[in-house]
Amino acid sequence: MLVMLIDDQIIAPKTVCQGCLLADRSGQPRWRQGQLRCGHALQRPSPAQPIQYECQMGFRIACIE
């Protein structure tokens, strides 16, 4: 499940991505084959934490299983 990390909040990407020109037709981030296509991976703070990405709009996105 993809989540957006904003300060100390976790929100659903659809609430932010719906207005993004890079989102897919359903208003979701472009997530394919385990990578965020509309952003880039950030360095992991620790191996225990999930990989975080930064989208083109500057939001942090994580894939939490």
Q: In the predicted model, is pLDDT for residue 53 greater than 90?
A: yes
Find the domain containing 42 and state its range.
Answer: 2-63
For residue 19, give the nearest of 11, 27, 30 by alpha carbon.
27
Q: What is the total count of domains within the chain?
A: 1
Q: Measure the CA–CA gap between 59 and 33, rounded to whole angstroms.
A: 20
pLDDT digits (tens, 9 = 90+) for 3-39: 999 888 999 998 889 989 999 999 999 999 888 999 9
Beta-carbon contacts of residue 10 (< 8 Å; ≥ 6 apart):
3, 4
What does the pLDDT read at residue 54? 94
